[in-house]
Structure 1
Amino acid sequence: MPLHRPERPRVRLVCVPNAGGGAATFRGWADLLPGDVELWAVRSPGRETRIAEKPPHRLSMIVDPVIDGLSRLDPLPFALLGHSMGALVSFAVARRLRSRGLPAPARLLVSGWNAPQVRDGMPRLGRLGDEDLRRVLHRLDGIPPEVLGNPELMDLIMPVLRADLNVAESYVYADEPPLACPISVFGGTGDPTTTAGGLGAWSAQTASAFRLRLLPGGHFFIHTQRRAVLDAVRRDLGACR
Structure 2
Amino acid sequence: MNPSAHEIVIVDDEAKPAQVIAEYLQREGFRTAHLLDGLGAVAYVRQHAPSVVILDVMLPGLDGIEVCRAVRQFSMVPIIMLTARVGEADRIQGLDIGADDYLCKPVSPREIVARVRAQLRRASGPVALAQHTHGFVVEEAAQRIRWEGKVLPLSQVEYRLFKTLLAQPGRIFEREALLNAKDLLGRAVNDRSVDSHIKNIRKKIKPYTGDTEVIFSVYGVGYRFGDG
TM-score, reference length from structure 2? 0.40
Decide which structure has the larger Cα Rg and report it: 2
Q: Which has the higher contact order (CA 8 A, sep 6+)?
A: 1
Structure with higher strand content: 2
TM-score, reference length from structure 1? 0.38
